[in-house]
């Protein structure tokens, strides 16, 4: 007689076969068989109990970003399924592989108005790359395989599996528990561009007088950093990035201009976007932020576009040459073409132009970073972080106060995914949770999470998770007692008509201390660097509550506010 497992056990064994080693999630009634299977079976998967399903999904997201493996989160039916949504759509739109498993009411009770009934498949369909609610236990193995195949091939994205309560008890043949090892990491089964595409791109590039490469997140996702560095160096081309594209090139590299666009870009870096006669988008969608709402490139500017997603190429700009394929393989072909042509050094003078622009940008930054006025300027925080963080640190930021300052002025010393922020949908509460996933994925590197005090309030409960698992993360709260991005927008766009953006000042350090975190509250800028050094060195969770300047009073690197 063939060996059988029940459905819940089959799910655990399939995740194990797919190479999963961590699951982030929160228990519920419909997860009882799944949790029991995780408890009773011998397997290498660590389940991390969270305090909120949103947090579980954000942890899985950051875990995926730093490991290049599928991040897995789970939650129960009803409220659990609705709470897990934000993390799945963020991962999918940002092109990271995250699997959300939501257990569900029994198939046998569909349509009988049971507690927590919701059409999970319909709800998840527009938010994920691939999605199904499994109706039979013997479908579990192939549905898991299909989910991993969808998440890791082509443009990566999120998938959802609904796992009804009753089929978790039904039989599954153990012989069907197998997985394709190539789908344990992504991008899996990468595709090369069509013949002639790399040659056409090189011809167009070499015919330009003043080209600029603009990288999105796709370069790091594809692991194309080395090939990009080789191309940029050999032709001396300047390289700009979106916020998601940071790490495509080490930002201390002489050809790295830094972030351009309406968030994290400055007037100085924008000069290159406006002056370029040819822009090469690489793994970037040429969306509203990077192009400052399509202000540049202009309609007359020549555009090349490299991407793994055919829907992206030509979506916003007329493209002279489109190169469809995996970024690492595509850039390797470009370099091979240049090798064949014996194309050498210093073609475009990018490093000299970048150095002049960065000198002007950082002269302004240093004036603010050395300012001792109260409350503390955000530039001062970034400058102190640059001095104290190890080179391989992982920094996570919410999209609010900290993000534009860090993206504009912190110089990442290494290529790769060392800065994480949720650029697709910008939900608050991301950084505190995501930093836990980043630590589980890269436990030997220091992890720092930055957020505003408004964002801190969203997921402060996860500090209990942080202390329970012993994650030595340093949290930095930029405290200014308001939802800063919106208040600054009301300042700039609504003639200072502030409405419902301010809240009471809270002692975040005291709150975190109650959870067991070692904390400091910093109001004097001269104390900041010393406290940061103590926090970074401490072997345990730490939090620094920085009473800082409000965004509407600052020189934030957000172009529409700087006019």
DSSP letters of 363-431?
HHHHHHHT---SSBPHHHHHHHHHHHS-TT-EEEE-SSTHHHHHHHH---SSSSS-EEE-TTT--TTHH
Q: Tens of pLDDT along 210-252?
A: 999 999 999 999 999 999 999 999 999 999 999 999 999 999 9
Residues 61 and 137 in one domain: yes
pLDDT tens, residue by residue, 307-363: 999 999 999 999 999 999 999 999 999 999 999 998 766 689 999 999 999 999 999
Q: For residue 298, what are its two tokens?
A: 């202009």
Query: Same structural domain for residues 294 and 388?
Result: no
What average pLDDT does the segment 425-450 reach? 96
Q: How many CA within 13 A on the CB side of residue 471?
A: 30
Residue 40, domain member (yes or no)? yes
In DSSP terms, which residues pair with 501 in a beta bridge?
Answer: none
Count of Cβ atoms closer than 10 Å to residue 108 Cβ: 11
Domain boundary among 184, 212, 227: 184
- Residue 494 exposed, middle or buried by CB count within 10 Å (0-12, 13-18, 19+): exposed
The CATH code of the domain that includes 98 is: 3.40.50.970
Mean pLDDT lowest among 74-88, 491-505, 535-549: 491-505
Q: What is the percentage of the chain residues whose pLDDT exceeds 90?
A: 88
Average pLDDT of the segment spanning 143-156: 98
The domain in which residue 420 lies consists of 370-561
What's residue 562's pLDDT? Answer: 57
Which of 101-110, 133-142, 365-374 tops mean pLDDT? Answer: 133-142
pLDDT at 556: 81
In a domain, 253, yes or no: yes
Q: How many domains would you assign to the chain?
A: 3
Question: For 51-65, what is each residue's pLDDT tens digit?
Answer: 999 999 999 999 999
Distance CA 557, CA 127 (A): 31
pTM of the model: 0.96
pLDDT of residue 305: 98
Asked whether residue 414 falls in the same domain as residue 555, the answer is: yes
Q: Do 77 and 218 fall into the same domain?
A: no
Q: Identify whether residues 168 and 216 lie together within a single domain.
A: no
Residue 545 has pLDDT above 60, yes or no: yes
**Would you say residue 506 has pLDDT above 60?**
yes
Q: Which neighbouring-strand residues pair with 488?
A: none
Mean pLDDT of 457-470: 97
pLDDT at 296 over 80: yes
> Across-strand partners of 157?
none
- Average confidence score pLDDT of the chain: 95
Provide the edge-to-edge strand list for the sheet that holds 302-307: 256-259, 239-241, 211-215, 278-282, 302-307, 321-324
- pLDDT tens-place string over residues 38-49: 999 999 999 999
**Do 210 and 348 contact (CB within 8 A), yes or no?**
yes
Q: Name the 3-class secondary structure at 66.
A: helix
């Amino acid at each position: 007689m063939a060996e059988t497992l029940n459905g819940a056990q089959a799910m655990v064994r399939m995740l194990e076969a797919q190479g999963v080693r961590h699951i982030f999630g929160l228990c519920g009634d419909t997860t009882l068989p799944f949790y029991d299977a995780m408890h009773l079976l011998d397997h290498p998967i660590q389940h991390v109990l969270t305090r909120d399903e949103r947090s579980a999904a954000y942890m899985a997201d950051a875990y995926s970003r730093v490991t290049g493996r599928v991040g897995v989160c789970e939650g129960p039916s009803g409220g659990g399924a609705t709470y897990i949504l934000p993390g799945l759509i963020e991962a999918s739109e940002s092109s990271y592989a995250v699997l959300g498993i939501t257990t569900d009411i029994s198939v046998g009770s569909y349509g009988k108005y049971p507690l927590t009934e919701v059409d999970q498949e319909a709800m998840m369909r527009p938010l994920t790359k691939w999605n199904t609610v499994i109706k039979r236990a013997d479908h579990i193995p192939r549905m898991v395989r299909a989910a991993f195949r969808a998440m890791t091939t082509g443009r990566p994205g999120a998938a959802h599996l609904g796992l009804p309560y009753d089929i978790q008890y039904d039989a599954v043949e153990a012989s069907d528990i197998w997985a394709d090892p190539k789908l344990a990491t992504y991008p899996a089964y990468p595709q090369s561009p069509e013949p002639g595409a790399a040659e056409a791109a090189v011809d167009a590039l070499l015919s330009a007088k003043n080209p600029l490469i603009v990288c999105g997140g796709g370069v790091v996702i594809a692991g194309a950093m080395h090939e990009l560095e080789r191309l940029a160096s050999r032709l001396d081309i300047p390289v700009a990035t979106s916020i998601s594209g940071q790490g495509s090139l080490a930002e201390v590299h002489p050809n790295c201009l830094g972030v351009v666009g309406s968030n994290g870009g400055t007037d100085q870096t924008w000069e290159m976007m406006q002056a370029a006669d040819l822009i090469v988008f690489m793994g970037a969608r040429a969306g509203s932020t990077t192009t400052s709402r399509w202000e540049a490139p202009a309609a007359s500017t020549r555009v090349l576009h490299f991407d793994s997603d055919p829907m992206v190429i030509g979506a916003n700009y007329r493209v002279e040459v489109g190169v469809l394929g995996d970024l690492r393989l595509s850039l390797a072909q470009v370099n091979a073409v240049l090798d064949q042509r014996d194309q050498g050094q210093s073609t475009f003078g990018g490093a000299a132009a970048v150095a002049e622009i960065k000198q002007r940008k950082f002269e302004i930054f240093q004036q603010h970073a050395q300012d001792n006025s109260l409350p503390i300027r955000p530039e001062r925080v970034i400058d102190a972080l640059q001095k104290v963080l190890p080179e391989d640190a992982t920094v996570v930021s919410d999209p609010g106060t900290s993000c534009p300052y860090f993206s504009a002025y912190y110089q990442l010393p290494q290529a790769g995914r060392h800065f994480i922020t949720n650029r697709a949908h910008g939900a608050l509460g991301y950084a505190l949770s995501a930093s836990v996933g980043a630590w589980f994925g890269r436990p030997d590197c220091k992890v720092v999470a930055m957020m505003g005090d408004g964002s801190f309030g969203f997921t402060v409960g996860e500090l209990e998770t942080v202390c329970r698992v012993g994650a030595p993360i340093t949290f930095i709260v930029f405290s200014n007692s308001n939802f800063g991005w919106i208040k600054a927008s009301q300042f700039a766009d609504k003639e200072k008509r502030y409405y419902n953006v301010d809240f009471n000042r809270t002692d975040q350090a005291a709150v975190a201390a109650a959870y067991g975190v070692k904390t400091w509250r910093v109001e004097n800028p001269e104390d900041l660097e010393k406290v940061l050094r103590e926090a970074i060195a401490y072997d345990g969770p730490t939090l620094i509550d920085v009473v800082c300047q409000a965004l509407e009073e600052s020189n934030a690197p957000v172009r529409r506010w700087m006019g």
